[in-house]
Amino acid sequence: MIFSTPLFIFAFLPLFLAVYFVVPATRRTAVILVGSCLFYGWWKATYLLLVLGIAAVSFVAGYVSIRAADAKHRQWAVRIGVSINLLCLGWFKYAYFIAGSFEAAMTKLGTSEASFDLPEIILPIGLSFLVFQSISYILDVSRKDAPPARSLIDFLAFSTLFPQLIAGPILRYKDLADQLTHRSHSLDAFSKGTQRFVVGLAMKLLIADSVAPMADRLFALPDPTMAEAWLAALTYSIQLFFDFAGYSAMAIGLGLMIGFRFVENFNNPYISRSVTEFWQRWHISLSNWLRDYLYIPLGGNRGGGLKTYRNLVLTMVLGGLWHGANWTFVLWGIWHGGLMALERRLGSKSQDPVWPRFLAWPLTMAFVMIGWVMFRAETVAHAINIYKGMLAENGFLLTAETLLLIRPTELLFLAIGVTLTVWPVFDARLRAANLSPVTIPAHQQLRSLTVVALFALCGLIMQARSDSPFLYFQF
């Protein structure tokens, strides 16, 4: 089931909310669990058992780790729990990749007999997010950084929480432990949640889905010109941000409706002035997870310059692999890790840019868009073809065929997307200069009217278009 469909918005969600608010407060966590199971099982009921099984194993591992007689038994509980999570992720997400890479290596060495006859494997949606959440629970509980789940029902509800299970943000049990037990509900919070959901829905339907066809066409060009290649990178950058940030906004909004306060996942990433700052603003829950459970355990910045650079690159490579089983994601991780290491070598340790002031933002955006090409490409060769176009190997201007196929609405929503991503810079300057002409009450009234209009427009679009899954469903 997809958030941006009439089935979810006009059937599942109203029915779920009606049941949730009718039952006693002590039963609402159980309602969340049942509703989440129905939501996930709608896609594939058999994989619901896998999700529940991973959650149950993680719950038991955490339970055993805090009741272990000594450190040795505690370590074994953690190792077994984490290993089962990683084995599940490895089988469903990386089995084909590992087998294919091994066969290719053997073929180059002249051993063509090496082959694997693997069964058909379908990646369960949301598995990457679930595994990271489960691992963080096991580690946090064993270190006594988080309280153990009060009951299996509570932990299963946390693990299957339908607003964010499919594509994040990545939650940590310690941040929701109290909320699972005691949640505050109010009309104001519900209203804010509804507004946040509608804004996220509009981000997905109006902008991401509107520019997606142009991105697909441009990336499919056999010999893109410089203008076509850079336009492809720009269009995909806008599509990916509004698709993923839109989902996160919808998840946060749904959480508010039922009393949860989820972590923010985006903070205007396209106004960053360094790649380091970009990763403090983009997919924040993943960045924090990688920092706390990979970068710091690897040694962080405690081992001197070379080890710090190694840890940065290795962390980003593993972050890239988390996104998908393809060498494109490995190279994407190396690109970002290498740039972050370079920035640190040049003196960057926070959001302060190391690049010249007038170059910091455009240079960072160029770095990010170059990375998105590898992220979007189906193969490394496909990405290299786009890079050749960026370097004007096939000419400079848009071809007549490309100009003919571009729709005015695609350009319109691309322009709107670009404007919205950089608007915070201009808004901050207007506020600093005290030049904003809109009063607070008028602003709130305008926001309410805008939300109603956006929802009506999204409703029309949902009827006219076919369902479009979120991009991060594949990760």
pLDDT at 448: 79
Residue located via tokens 């084995």 = 87
Instruction: Tell me the catalytic residues.
Output: 323
> Cis bond leading into 169, ω under 30°?
yes
* 295-330: b (≥16 Cβ within 10 Å) or e: beebeeeeeeeeebbebbbbbbbbbbbbbbbbbbbb
Per-residue pLDDT tens for 175-217?
Answer: 999 999 888 899 999 999 999 999 999 999 999 999 999 999 9
Q: Which two tokens stand for residue 317?
A: 């490579």
pLDDT at 100: 83
Please determine, for residue 435, whether its predicted confidence score (pLDDT) is greater than 70. no
385/101 Cα distance (integer angstroms): 22
Confidence of residue 403 (pLDDT cuts 50, 70, 90): very high
Confidence of residue 82 (pLDDT cuts 50, 70, 90): very high
Confidence of residue 470 (pLDDT cuts 50, 70, 90): confident
Per-residue pLDDT tens for 217-227?
Answer: 999 999 999 99
Which residue, among 204, 228, 202, has the nearest Cα to 217 in the 3D structure?
228
Mean of the pLDDT values across residues 75-93? 94
**Which of residues 468 and 249 earns the better pLDDT score?**
249
Mean of the pLDDT values across residues 230-240? 98
87, exposed or middle or buried, with CB in 10 Å at 0-12, 13-18, 19+?
exposed
pLDDT at 298: 92
Residue 396 backbone phi and psi in degrees, to 5: -110, -45
Per-residue pLDDT tens for 326-373?
Answer: 999 999 999 999 999 999 998 876 556 788 888 999 999 999 999 999
8 A C-beta contact, residue 136 and residue 97 = no
Tell me the range of 375-384, 447-456, 459-468 where mean pLDDT is highest.
Answer: 375-384
210/76 Cα distance (integer angstroms): 50
Mean of the pLDDT values across residues 112-122? 73
8 A C-beta contact, residue 349 and residue 333 = no
Confidence of residue 114 (pLDDT cuts 50, 70, 90): low
Which residue, among 216, 205, 198, has the nearest Cα to 254 in the 3D structure?
198
> What amino acid occupies position 424?
P
178, exposed or middle or buried, with CB in 10 Å at 0-12, 13-18, 19+?
exposed
| For the chain, domain boundaries | 6-183, 190-273+355-464
Confidence of residue 1 (pLDDT cuts 50, 70, 90): confident
Residue 103 Cα distances to 62, 83, 108, 170, angstroms: 38, 25, 9, 34
Residue 306 backbone phi and psi in degrees, to 5: -65, -40
Q: What is the 3-state secondary structure (H, E, C) of 219-284?
A: HCCCCCCHHHHHHHHHHHHHHHHHHHHHHHHHHHHHHHHCCCCCCCCCCCHHHCCCHHHHHHHCCH
Q: Which two tokens stand for residue 391?
A: 């370097």
